[in-house]
A and B are shown apart, each in its own frame.
Chain A
Amino acid sequence: MAHLPILQVILPLLAAPLCLFLKRPKLVWLFACVVTALTFTISVLLVQQVTSTGVISYELGGWAPPWGIEYRIDALNAFVIMVVSGLSAVVLLAARTSLENELSSNRQTYFYALYLLSLTGMLGILATGDAFNVFVFLEISSLSAYALIAMGKDRRALWASYQYLIMGTIGATFILIGIGLMYQMTGTLNMQDLAERLPEVAQTRTVFVSFAFVVVGVCLKLALFPLHLWLPNAYAYAPSIVTAMLAATSTKVAIYLLIRFTFTVFGLSFSFTTLPLNILFLVLGLLGVFVASTSAIYQQNVKHIFAYSSIAQVGYMIVGISVGTAAGLSASLMHIFNHALMKGALFLALAGVMYRLGNVQLKSFQGLGRQMPLTMAAIVVGGLSLIGVPLTVGFISKWYLVVAMIENGWWPVAILILFGSLLAIIYLWRVVEVAYFRAPNKDNESVKEAPLGILIPTWILVLANVYFGVDTRINVQIAQMAAENLFGVAP
């Protein structure tokens, strides 16, 4: 039990090289599924442990922090770890069927190994309490993501992957510069230790600059407007499974990092009082919501539509953070959980379409409402959740977000958020309209429902969307607990 914090990272990590020994893709897939399921189980246990006993600290190598590297699990990262490992496990279930048509079998073993490594990287970022360790695991998750994206069938996947590599590496290097400056001023890399020592030097320009670099670097990874340009193509041309996985998890990890650095490391008073960060985040978040939602309306590729919608959703999370209150932060955290469920469901449904049609252009969706009723129904439910209709998870987070704004007296912002949902209705309606109200074109008449291998994982997520929209114990309570902890601990 005491080793849970490290186990959830090294389990997928050590499983990745083992994949190479197994060789046969089917076997590797089974093995990877078992591993991710175990990882998810561990993460649930971790959440239980944290909610009952409080923060867990695990000293790697037996060296006490700040000399050694520490894994530090509190309600915040236990929550995000659960989301990330859970979604990765479900998405992976669909991988075998989906990859049949998208990747040659001799590369599938590498695909699964890289998938596990990417998961490892993200879990490592989430669990660690050491600033430099973040950088190392960030690169593990990024490098594997670049490779996974580049495995897409379309040659544009290569170009998208290259652009992501350049942007991602610039982001990582910015973070590295920021960490270096922090180290120079404090002499430590441990986050907890940094939080204690930074206030002494908080007035120096060097600390200000280091903060700026860390935030910009993380925002590049986060695809916060206007640093989002790499994201739509990367999502659109990657193999469908990779899209589902990245959309459900990777931006969440970046949001977590942003929260961790602004709240825990630099501290609330520094981030929000010394600097006009709340105004900046508010403006960028809202701009992100509107610019991305509007772009989504004009896209012809359905993956592009949902990719832009992801950028908009990131905008909502940033707006939640910008309020600087526990209510706002917990709304953002809920949205991490909820958005992972929605986008996981939506992109897995698209994986089903991709499997049958070979593309996801909007015009090929004609008549799919009749040809693939279950897949399209999944898209409709996921879409309703995205809009924020009651009885879906999307409603919960939008509701708490609006309440948080109103509590803080930010009426106009609350109205703008609701207006953003209207834009979501428009871009989703385009998909629904084509799928349900147009006769199938010639190519589509023989199209059948997506295979069970994809359909089942899709519906697991769709049902989760509804279930957690009604029974809000897990997502709301833990998110609120995590948010209150951060505000309690933060000086």
Chain B
Amino acid sequence: MVGVVVAIIWMKDLIAVVMLLGIYGLLTASFFMAMDAVDVAFTEASVGAGISTLLLLVAIAKTKRKEHPSRHKPLLALLVVVITGGLLIYGTYDMPIFGMADAPAHTHVAQRYIEDSYDEIGIPNIVTSVLSSYRGFDTFGEVVVIFTAGLGIIGLLSTVNGTGTRKKLPTINDSIEDQHIVLRIVGKILIPFILLFALYVQFHGEYGPGGGFQAGVIFGAGIILYAMLFGMDIARRVISQSLIQLIAAFGVLLYGAVGVVSFLNGGTFLDYNVLLENPVAGQHLGILLIELGVGMTVASVIIIIFFNFAGRKGPQQISDDLGA
């Protein structure tokens, strides 16, 4: 991994940098897997190696491909980095030994999650129970972060060049539309399965790794694939921008509504126990609903981001790289 990062520093070709970053993401994901963090590995694989690589490529397509070979102040940077790094290394000396089972991190709060979460929430995946119930408010915040980014990107990128007349939108892959019939047919067969798989991940999160976020990413990726294969125009006709925005907003509202209903029912915000008479069933319902909200917001924001990026004018030098 260190090697990959060092290579990133030296590379001037941004596409290669992004590809290496994708590899880095994938390596990180495998490391998470080895560390027993299956949910995190799943997310990192889809985000680090998937979405962020895709976004960076699209952004490079809209800007410049080469890094200008100029160096500003490597010495100062080096100094700052060495001080910070030195401080961190200094800090590691009093850390508990790696993997030690009785480190303070494992013996205090986490203990209860492992021992009692099944009785209190009723689902085997502890990560899901902590994520959506014990620390459900953090997850709400996370959805809002995504929503904020989506809004920010629309606010920055949309409609600036599209005043009035609807011209044919420039896409990053006009060429594919004509050339790759095989790709399109394969895509047509594949896309329904991707969307189905997304739904599976959405509702299976309670038992295995997965959940609203990962499902949203997969669903969004499916739509993006469709847009890439059949052209942005058609994709936009199928899914209108304003509708997607509303879905994203609705996801946040759904999550919030669960919280509001729970305090109307006499609990506190996001207290799923009071949603139904049986607390465990209430937890089930609550988690199901909020994961749905997460999935909706994430999927629509990803689509929004991609559409807005791809809708900008810009040099199209890497359209072939992307398609191939």
Contact = CB atoms under 8 A, between A and B. Distances in A.
Interface stretch (A88-96, A111-119, A397-405): A111-119
A18 B253 contact: yes
B136 A60 contact: yes
A147 B151 contact: yes
A140 B141 contact: yes
B53 interface: no
B227 interface: no
Contact of A14 (B106, B107, B149, B256): B256
B320 interface: no
A484 interface: no
A201 B103 CA distance: 12
A147 B267 CA distance: 36
A17 B155 contact: no
A280 B221 CA distance: 50
A355 interface: no
Nearest to A204: B94
Contact of A136 (B142, B246, B259): B142
B152 A107 contact: no
Interface string A56-75: 00111111001111000000
Nearest to A186: B104
B292 to A, nearest CB: 15
A190 B135 CA distance: 11
Interface in B233-278: 245-246, 248-250, 252-253, 256, 259-260, 262-263, 267-274
B145 interface: yes
Contacts of B135: 61, 68-69, 132
A209 B87 CA distance: 7
A61 B148 contact: no
Given A61-B134, A114-B152, A187 B145 contact: no
Main secondary structure of the interface of A (DSSP, over half): helix
Given A143-B145, A181-B91, A206-B94, A187 B138 contact: no
Contacts of B256: 10, 13-14
Given A61-B137, A147-B148, A184 B112 contact: no
Interface residues of A, number: 63
Contact of B252 (A17, A150, A183, A209): A17
Given A13-B144, A136-B141, A144-B148, A189 B109 contact: yes
Contacts of B92: 206
Interface size class on chain B is 35 or more
Q: In the complex, which of the residues B103, B135, B137 has the most CB atoms of chain A within 10 Å of its own CB atom?
A: B137
Nearest to B94: A204
B76 to A, nearest CB: 13
Contacts of B148: 114, 117, 140, 143-144, 147
B90 interface: yes
B108 A186 contact: yes
B35 interface: no
B133 interface: yes
Interface string B146-189: 01110111111001000000000000000000000000000000
Name the 5 nearest CB pairs between A and B, nearest first. Answer: A147-B152, A209-B91, A187-B108, A62-B271, A17-B249
Interface of A: 3, 6, 10, 13-14, 16-18, 20-21, 58-63, 66-69, 106-107, 110-111, 113-114, 117, 120, 124, 132-133, 136-137, 139-140, 143-144, 146-147, 150-151, 177, 181, 183-190, 193, 197, 201, 204-210, 212-213
Given A16-B252, A62-B268, A208-B91, 10 more contacts: A6-B259, A17-B252, A21-B246, A113-B151, A137-B141, A140-B145, A184-B105, A190-B109, A197-B104, A210-B91
